[in-house]
């Protein structure tokens, strides 16, 4: 045993450091194991999978991932009977504990944003004009704004963005603003867009990557 008080303090310090290191690596091992479940639908490079309808999630902000996973778990998102794609995601979220949600969200957020394929071709100039409404919450580069609960849209799969705009408009997502305050905010916004305007605005968002 070390004799001096200083030597004891050093020993205690290294034991504490070792403990926190091992709990850190436990969290990232757990994050990796949980992420393996996500990959089967969201794509093995995290790039999204259109056939399954699962969008890119890698590199989304941790706060947004947590919010959405909790909403899926509680049925605030994907509670609507017509939310076919949301229903594929909901059982996964329900199987996660609150602790799992925090761990996997930190893991996913720390992964680099992958490049996504563009699949939508609209009129970019018209889209830019429509996008001026979105700037207030999503930012000029569609980078998102945590204070307003608005996620980044740049770098997302265009087919996924289109589906969400249609879901908001049809009240399939955010249809109950008493339970989903942030989702409810997209209601009026999406109602003002017809199919053509949605394609154009998403084409413009593609250019912001
Ligand atoms: C069985 C397939 C499946 C699995 C497994 C799955 N997801 Fe999903 N996920 C989906 C689908 C489909 C959507 C799109 C839902 C929609 O269109 O509203 C989605 C949407 C999401 C969203 C919303 C993204 C956004 O921009 O709002 C998040 C976050 C998410 N998934 C995280 C995860 C995580 C984390 C895991 C692993 C723990 C996971 N998912 C596993 C199918 C799956
Ligand atoms: C008043 C603020 C506000 C404005 C203006 C706004 N949004 Fe949103 N948007 C939000 C919030 C908040 C969310 C997150 C909803 C949630 O938590 O489910 C969101 C979510 C979205 C999503 C879903 C993203 C995902 O990953 O699932 C899309 C797509 C979207 N907005 C597109 C747009 C477009 C396009 C415009 C402009 C035409 C726009 N928004 C204008 C606040 C806004």
Classify residue 20: in a domain, yes or no: no
- The tokens of 125 are what? 């100039």
At 103 the pLDDT is: 97
Tell me, using a 6 A CB cutoff, whether residue 159 lines ligand 2.
Answer: no
* pLDDT reading at 18 higher than 90: no
Domain match, 101 and 146 both: no
Contact 67, 109 (CB under 8 A): no
Q: What angle do CA 194, 162, 62 make, to 5 degrees?
A: 135
Show the domain range for 200.
Answer: 117-209
Phi-psi region of 48 (alpha: psi -120 to 50; beta: other; left: phi over 0): left
Specify the CATH number for the domain of residue 69.
1.10.760.10
Q: Check whether residue 193 and residue 176 sit in a common domain.
A: yes
pTM: 0.92
Same domain assignment for residues 137 and 105: no
Q: Quick one: which atom of ligand 2 is closest to the CA of 198? A: 35
Of 90, 115, 140, which one is at a domain's C-terminal end? 115
Of 166, 148, 182, 187, the closest CA to residue 76 belongs to: 182
Q: With H, G, I as helix, E, B as strand and everything else as coil, classify residue 150.
A: strand
Which tops the pLDDT comparison, 19 or 181? 181
**The pLDDT value given to residue 9:** 63
Per-residue pLDDT at 50:
96
Mean pLDDT of 6-30: 65
Domain count, the chain: 2
Residue 3 falls inside a structural domain: no
Q: Which atom of ligand 2 is nearest to the CA of 192?
A: 38
Q: How large is the average pLDDT for residues 52-68?
A: 97
- The DSSP secondary-structure symbol of 89 reads H
Percent of the chain scoring above 70 in pLDDT:
89
Residue at a domain's end among 115, 147, 177: 115
Same domain? For 196 and 186 the reply is: yes
pLDDT tens-digit series, residues 186-198: 999 999 999 999 9
Q: Cα separation of 137 and 64, whole Å?
A: 14
How far from the centroid of its chain's Cα atoms is residue 70's Cα?
A: 11
Q: Backbone phi, then psi, for 181, in 5-degree steps?
A: -60, -50
Residue 86 lies in a domain: yes
Average pLDDT value for the chain: 92
Average pLDDT over residues 72-89: 97
Q: What is the pLDDT of residue 44?
A: 87
pLDDT band at 98 (very low <50, low <70, confident <90, very high): very high
- In this structure, are 69 and 126 located in the same domain? no
Q: Whose CA is nearest to atom 22 of ligand 2?
A: 164
The pLDDT, as a whole number, for residue 1 is: 46
Interatomic CA distance for residues 71 and 83, integer angstroms: 14
pLDDT at 28: 82
Kindly report the protein residue whose alpha carbon is nearest to atom 39 of ligand 2: 134
CA 193 to ligand 2: nearest atom: 38
pLDDT in tens, 120-171: 999 999 999 999 999 999 999 999 999 999 999 999 999 999 999 999 999 9
């Amino acid at each position: 045993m070390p004799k001096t008080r200083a030597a004891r303090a050093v020993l205690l310090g290294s034991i504490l450091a070792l403990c926190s290191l091992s709990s850190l690596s436990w969290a990232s091992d757990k994050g990796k194991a949980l992420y393996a479940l996500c990959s089967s639908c969201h794509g093995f490079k995290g790039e999204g999978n259109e056939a399954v309808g699962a969008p890119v999630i890698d590199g989304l902000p941790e706060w947004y991932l947590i919010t959405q996973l909790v909403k899926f778990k509680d049925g605030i998102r994907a509670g609507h009977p017509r939310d076919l794609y949301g229903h594929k995601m909901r059982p996964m979220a329900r199987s996660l504990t609150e602790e799992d949600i925090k761990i996997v969200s930190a893991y996913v957020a720390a992964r680099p944003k992958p490049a996504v394929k563009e699949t939508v071709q609209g009129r970019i100039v018209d889209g830019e004009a429509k996008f001026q409404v979105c700037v207030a919450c999503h930012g000029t580069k569609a980078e998102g704004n945590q204070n307003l609960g608005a996620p980044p849209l740049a770098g997302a799969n265009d087919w996924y963005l289109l589906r969400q705009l249609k879901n908001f408009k049809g009240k399939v997502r955010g249809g109950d603003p008493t339970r989903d305050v942030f989702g409810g905010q997209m209601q009026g916004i999406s109602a003002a867009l017809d199919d053509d305007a949605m394609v154009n605005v998403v084409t413009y968002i593609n250019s912001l990557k």
